[in-house]
Amino acid sequence: MNNNSIIILDFGSQYTQLIARRIRELNVFSEIYHFNISAEKIKQINPKGIILSGGPASVYEQNAPFPDRQIFKLNIPILGLCYGLQIITEIFNGRVKSSHAREYGFAELYILSKKSIFFGLKNKEKVWMSHGDKVIKMPSNFKVIGKTSNSDFAAIENTKKKIYGLQFHPEVIHTENGIKIFENFIKICGAERTWVPEAYIKNTVEEIKQIVKNDKVLCAVSGGVDSTVTAVLVNKAIGKNLICVFVNNGLLRLDEDKKVLKMFKKVGINVRYINAENLFLKKLKGVTDPEKKRKIIGNLFIKVFENYSKKIGRFKFLAQGTLYPDLIESVSVKGPSTTIKSHHNVGGLPKKMKLKLIEPLKSLFKDEVRKIGEKINIPYEVLWRQPFPGPGLAVRIIGEITKEKVNILRKADHIIIDEIKKAGYYDKIWQSFGVLLPIKTVGVMGDKRTYENVIAIRAVHSKDGMTADWVKLPCDLLNIISSRIINEVKGVNRVVYDISNKPPSTIEWE
């Protein structure tokens, strides 16, 4: 157990993962747990602090989610955010009710005390609100330290018990000094800021050694940063007992297989190649549902690995580059978060899988993985390669997968990336790619009527994949991309640009 951590109790907020992310940015380990984790279990974890997340419920409703009340007797500092503030209010004999004037968006917080959680802030701060309920009666023995025009008790504290409540969301970037508030809470908790890449690498390598011992590990590699960092970490731990396998599933980008094998040779890892293109395309024939696609691909990956492992020797473990956001979006990891979509290396795994999983990155966000990668000398072009989904082009072809559609999208996607690189935008963008839509439109080429496919361009800015903003690419660049796709890719006569943010949309279309 990491007893220099701050844990987050999840009440179903859309921002819960951002809280964990902000704490880690300050070099303190944070992890999310279900809201009803017992006080006894928390005592065993022995964290330095506890944060109560926001959530969609109302504390005055029947069956509203509440934490184990004994957590307030553990003498551990507690910070409640939004719904978390309202929980504190209700438990300590205050009162919460529905507000006639709800607060969503920016608000001005008037700070009344700057001795603790608000130390170093201005008298007036811009914060982000998202609530329909508000505190109307203060909890016993608490002091008001901040208010807004709509909330007289927007921030409260009990310094003796080290319990703090904020009606706003310091975890979102719209709260200008939110990170400073978390920094103050870390100081109150007495947590040491030792969550650094070097410590993570040392601990992870040692942990893999202890788990694997003298057994062999089969590692699925794709050439992306996640699987590459995974492979290098496992290689550091067990050396020759690691066997890396690259599967060509027929859903890769143009010349992807050749580039991946060349790259792994460069980092000193021998990779075995399996061409399973026909097998995957056959299994996906007629399948249109995105969740079925992901699960078919995930299951087939495991079967391919298991069959291959039988041919070359006995394996006990399978290493994967699963990240924390993969787990959060696929399943309720430790809290009541809603399943958004299954990831190929999470939701697609068969229940009776024979190989045990080694997932050294499963507690990390993408930018943390890159920091680890820098420390273990992974090449820049690999480290900063834009994310590519495990199911490959299958989740970028809306509807049924065919070899013809794969070829169309492969060529279009190559043009998109090629031109974005030429324009100097590739390293500035989190992810950019093409999507083949399940519709055809009328066009005119060479004075003849055409009825052909549509390609959507998607480009987003993001920090950790949990939220994303669409990129305002220059019109001239979009024009070049569109012209090249329509002129060079047979079967496409229209190109459109996706201007949706996450949320409400996801980064991938499926």
Residue 312 or residue 394, greater confidence: 394
Q: 155-158 and 143-147: which strand pairing?
A: antiparallel
Average pLDDT, stretch 74-83? 96
Residue 140 or residue 1, greater confidence: 140
Structural domain range at position 64: 6-189
As a whole-number percent, the residues of the chain with pLDDT over 70 amount to 93
Average pLDDT, stretch 266-283? 90
| Identified catalytic residue from 25, 103, 169, 189 | 169
86 belongs to a structural domain: yes
Q: Which of 135, 160, 189 is where one domain is finished?
A: 189
397 belongs to a structural domain: no
Q: What are phi and psi of 384, to 5 degrees?
A: -110, 20
Radius of gyration of the chain (CA): 25
414 shares its domain with 352:
no
Query: Of 81-90, 273-282, 340-349, 473-482, which range is least confident?
Result: 340-349
Q: Quote the CA–CA distance of 104 and 54 in Å, as a whole number.
A: 14
245 shares its domain with 329:
yes
Say what the pLDDT of residue 379 is.
Answer: 85
362 shares its domain with 444:
no
The SS3 call for residue 124 is strand
Q: Kindly indicate the confidence band of residue 101, based on its pLDDT and cuts at 50, 70 and 90.
A: low
Q: Does 34 participate in catalysis according to the annotation?
A: no
35 belongs to a structural domain: yes
362 shares its domain with 417:
no
Average pLDDT, stretch 262-279? 89
Say what the pLDDT of residue 353 is.
Answer: 56
Kindly report whether the global pTM for this prediction surpasses the value 0.85: no
64 shares its domain with 98:
yes
| Identified catalytic residue from 31, 82, 157, 344 | 82
Q: Residue 159: in which H helix or E strand, if any?
A: none
337 shares its domain with 467:
no
Is the pLDDT at 350 greater than 50? The verdict is no
247 shares its domain with 344:
yes
Query: Of 36-45, 265-274, 344-353, which range is least confident?
Result: 344-353
Say what the pLDDT of residue 334 is.
Answer: 41
CATH code of the domain covering residue 270: 3.40.50.620
Say what the pLDDT of residue 336 is.
Answer: 41
Span 232-259, pLDDT tens digits? 999 999 998 998 989 899 999 999 899 8
221 shares its domain with 145:
no
- Of 102, 136, 109, residue with least CA distance to 123: 109
CATH code of the domain covering residue 476: 3.30.300.10
Is the pLDDT at 173 greater than 70? The verdict is yes
Is the pLDDT at 277 greater than 80? The verdict is yes
What residues contact 369, with CB distance under 8 A and at least 6 apart? 225, 226, 229, 323, 361
505 belongs to a structural domain: no
- Of 273, 350, 355, 353, residue with least CA distance to 314: 355
Rounded to the nearest integer, the mean pLDDT of the chain is 88
Q: Does 169 participate in catalysis according to the annotation?
A: yes
119 belongs to a structural domain: yes
241 shares its domain with 358:
yes
Under a CB-based contact definition with an 8 Å cutoff, are residues 344 and 297 in contact? yes
Span 308-347, pLDDT tens digits? 877 877 778 888 888 877 765 544 434 444 333 344 444 3
Q: Which of 322, 348, 383 is where one domain is finished?
A: 383
DSSP output for 254-313: TTHHHHHHHHHHHTT--EEEEE-HHHHHHHTTT---HHHHHHHHHHHHHHHHHHHHHHH-
509 belongs to a structural domain: no
482 shares its domain with 338:
no
Say what the pLDDT of residue 13 is.
Answer: 87
506 belongs to a structural domain: no
Is the pLDDT at 219 greater than 70? The verdict is yes
| Identified catalytic residue from 25, 103, 157, 171 | 171
Q: Which of 321, 353, 383 is where one domain is finished?
A: 383
CATH code of the domain covering residue 137: 3.40.50.880
Q: Does 171 participate in catalysis according to the annotation?
A: yes
Say what the pLDDT of residue 422 is.
Answer: 97
As a whole-number percent, the residues of the chain with pLDDT over 90 amount to 61
Instruction: Please provide the distance, in angstroms rounded to a whole number, between the alpha carbons at the two ends of the chain.
Output: 36
Is the pLDDT at 85 greater than 90? The verdict is yes
137 shares its domain with 90:
yes
Say what the pLDDT of residue 328 is.
Answer: 59
Query: Of 294-298, 327-331, 398-402, 446-450, which range is least confident?
Result: 327-331
Residue 26 has a CB neighbour count (10 Å cut-off) of: 17
Q: Quote the CA–CA distance of 222 and 321 in Å, as a whole number.
A: 10
Q: Quote the CA–CA distance of 187 and 197 in Å, as a whole number.
A: 21
392 belongs to a structural domain: no
31 shares its domain with 126:
yes
Average pLDDT, stretch 145-170? 93
Question: What's the structural domain count of the chain?
Answer: 3
Average pLDDT, stretch 473-485? 97
